[in-house]
Structure 1
Amino acid sequence: MFTRSRTSFDLVPRRVRVHAVRRLTGSMVRTTFRDPDGADPVAASSLAALRSPGPEDHVKVFLPDPATGELHAPTVAPDGGIQRPTGVVSISRELTVRARRTVDGVAEVDVDWVLHGDEGPASAWASRAAVGDEVVLVGPGASVAVPEGVERLTVVVDETGLPAAARWVEAVGPDVRVTAVVEIGDDVDESFVEAELGHADVEILYRTDGPGQLEEAVRSLGGPDEGELLVALGEAGELVPVRRYLRHEAGARPDQLAISGYWRRGTVNLDHDQPLDPTDPD
């Protein structure tokens, strides 16, 4: 049985600035954040104090008002939650912490974005992000650790789940066999996906080939081994049949599954903490 410990952190708004922007592949960009000039590097609101030990740890990124460019920072409520400012535009999205490090004594955090034109404010901001731009990061509020004793890892993701999948591969280490099934758009380079996933055995699926590919690919792998952990992250509708197959046909134990919908077609800013499939709850 796998056991994943959970650690909670205080929610702290951190105003940060873009230090670097890197186009990863056709529809993905990475922003590297640092504290603004003059910030106290040992304060609780500094990036040095941000903790993200778990592979799926995420931050809520608060963006400037698209119309005015003004950034309205949230505050901490008396109950420890986050209070959005009233009477102004407050836009946020939850994104995985891809990496955290210290360079020459300065804390940095990387966040990867999937671009889809100007259809949404997050994509529009990320596609134009430039050095010096500022946002507010809140979180992670909690971190779920990698369980001990993983003998084999299977990850099933699309572009939105790729940063977490890469962290999973790094976390289990090179001695654990990893199989990765990744669904991508035509503008994502296979070489980038393979590089992100390190020593994993990667199978690439193209979204333009139609729906249902993830389920078919998972079925082709057969049932899980005793010491296997299966992680599936991406579009909720695509993951529902994957989860049903693993739970009800493949014989996977509940502790072997870590499945989360990061987005859902037709839904704005999906809460991925909600049940993936309300008709088949845990």
Structure 2
Amino acid sequence: MSRAYATRVAAVRRMSPHFVRFTLADEELRHFHTGGLDQRIKLFLPRPDGTFPDLGLWREPQPSLMEWYNAWRALAESERNPIRTYTVRDIRPAEREIDVDFVVHGTEGPASAWALSAAPGDELIVIGPDGRHENAGAGIEWSPGTATEVLLAGDETAVPAICAILESLPETFTGEAYLEVPSEQDVLPVRTASAVAVHWLPRDGAALGEPLTAAVRDWGRRRSEGAAGGGEEFAEIGAEDPLWEVSEPEGFREYAWLAGEAGVITALRRHMVKDLGLSRKQVSFMGYWKRGRASS
């Protein structure tokens, strides 16, 4: 169950050339509690004049996702505000705060443009989980089941989720984490009690997805031949095939979680299932964004 939170920026911290961390505060965030992990949220960015459309978000009971989304879609294009999907970096219900990391890349995109100009006191509406409901964990895709040997892989858009997952893992987990970022200066501190080895992959001029693809393929070569063998047939992904699928790897030792640019991530998932022999049930993949297409 999700709800709207009328948050305000409490603090802004430039983490690196391409990462900006926003601490968002609201008294109602005391109810925002799911445990973190790769918790997805919707961010309502303001219109150019700083306002938001009236979608009935503050009535009681609050509208469902489909209700407010359909109302938003029905607005004239000039009246709509940008909506983007993000993952939460940290959740502090006792302090009524959450942290959200933005990837900034100039002012062409509305989220990056907002992040580069926003200051403490600015308003940002968050659609996120309501911890008072049984299904408050909706929007969390990390689900290793019985697996304790994991592969985490993603580009900069997946860095907040991967770091939050790493910080949650107990010492019984082993494996590898690969995080592709724009530059060497974008390597961020992350702690984990697990034995998962963390590898940062700065592009520094390389093509998007190139370092991540090379690292995951190298992981596949090093992986023991009989580690996981679904041996499933895997059809080529077409234009209409899903770019997002969450697995439930019960009974398996290995589990892979992949997120980032859809073309890169689906190719890696195909490689794991078709070439390495992992079962589809062992690989969760999330196309967080797609080159050349705006996402909401």
TM-score between the two structures when normalised by the length of structure 1: 0.79
For 2:262 and 2:156, locate their aligned partners in 1 and report how far apart those are by CA, in whole Å: 13
- Asked if 1:196 corresponds to 2:222, the answer is no
**1:261 Cα deviation (Å)?**
1.0
- Return the match for 2:180 from 174, 183, 188: 183
Q: Which amino acid aligns with 2:288?
A: Y
Count the aligned residue pairs: 246
Secondary structure at the counterpart of residue 75 of structure 1: coil
Partner of 2:149: 152
Distance 2:166 2:10 in 1: 26
Which deviates the most, 151-160 or 80-89? 80-89
The residue aligned with 2:283 is 257
Select between 122-131 and 199-208 the one with higher mean Cα deviation: 199-208
Q: CA RMSD in A?
A: 2.3
The runs of at least 4 aligned residues of structure 1 exceeding 4 Å deviation read 76-80, 223-226
- Give 2:51's match in structure 1, choosing from 43, 52, 70: 70
Residue 38 (structure 2) aligns with: 56
Find the aligned partners of 2:63 and 2:116 in 1 and give their Cα distance: 36
Residues 13 and 75 in structure 1, CA contact (< 8 A), matched pair in contact too: no
Contact 1:232 1:258 in 2 (8 A): yes
Where 1:132 maps in the other structure, the secondary structure is coil
Determine the C-alpha separation between the residues in 2 that align with 1:15 and 1:109.
Answer: 12
Distance 1:174 1:22, change over 3 A: farther
Residues 34-113 of structure 1 aligned to structure 2 (within 5 Å): 34-35=25-26, 41=27, 46-53=28-35, 55-66=37-48, 68-72=49-53, 74-75=55-56, 81-83=66-68, 84-85=71-72, 86-87=75-76, 88-102=79-93, 105-113=94-102
Alignment of 1:131-170 (within 5 A): 131-140=120-129, 142-144=138-140, 146-170=143-167
Q: Contact 1:31 / 1:111 at 8 angstroms: preserved in 2?
A: yes
Q: Structure 1: which 5+ residue stretches go unaligned? A: 1-8, 36-40, 271-282
What amino acid maps onto 2:256 in structure 1? L
Task: Give the structure with the higher percent strand.
Answer: 1
CA 1:74–1:60 in structure 2 vs 1: closer, same or farther (change >3 Å)?
farther
Contact 2:4 2:126 in 1 (8 A): yes
1:78-126 C-alpha deviation (Å, 9 max, x unpaired): 6553424535232111100111114xx5311111100011011110111
Query: Structure 1 residue 116 and structure 2 residue 105: aligned?
Result: yes
1:173 deviates by: 1.8
Q: TM-score, normalised by structure 2?
A: 0.75
Query: Equivalent residue for 2:201?
Result: 205
Residue 21 of structure 1: aligned partner? 12
Please tell me whether the aligned partners of residues 55 and 146 of structure 1 are also in contact (alpha carbons under 8 angstroms). Answer: no
Verify the 8 A CA contact 1:71 1:135 in the aligned structure 2: no
Hey, what's the Cα distance between the residues in 1 that align with 2:54 and 2:3? 11
Deviation (angstroms), 1:24: 1.0
Are residues 163 and 245 of structure 1, via their aligned partners in 2, closer, same or farther at CA, if it must alter by over 3 Å? same
* Structure 2 counterpart of 1:48, one-letter code: R
Percent identity among equivalent residues?
A: 32
Query: Residue in 2 aligned with 1:238?
Result: 264
Structure 1 residues 239-259: Cα deviation after superposition (integer angstroms, max 9, x where no partner): 122111111111112221111
Equivalent-residue separation in structure 2 for 1:251 and 1:18 (angstroms) = 46
Task: Quote the residue 2:240 is aligned against.
Answer: none
Residue of structure 2 equivalent to 1:130: 119
In 1, distance between residues paired with 2:118 and 2:65?
A: 30
The aligned amino acid for 2:171 is: P
TM-aligned CA distance change 1:20 to 1:126, over 3 Å = same
Q: 1:126 to 1:52 in 2, by over 3 A?
A: farther
**Alignment check: 8 A CA contact 2:155 2:212 kept:** no
Deviation at 1:31, TM superposition (A): 0.5
SS at match of 2:15: strand
Post-superposition shift, 1:185? 0.7
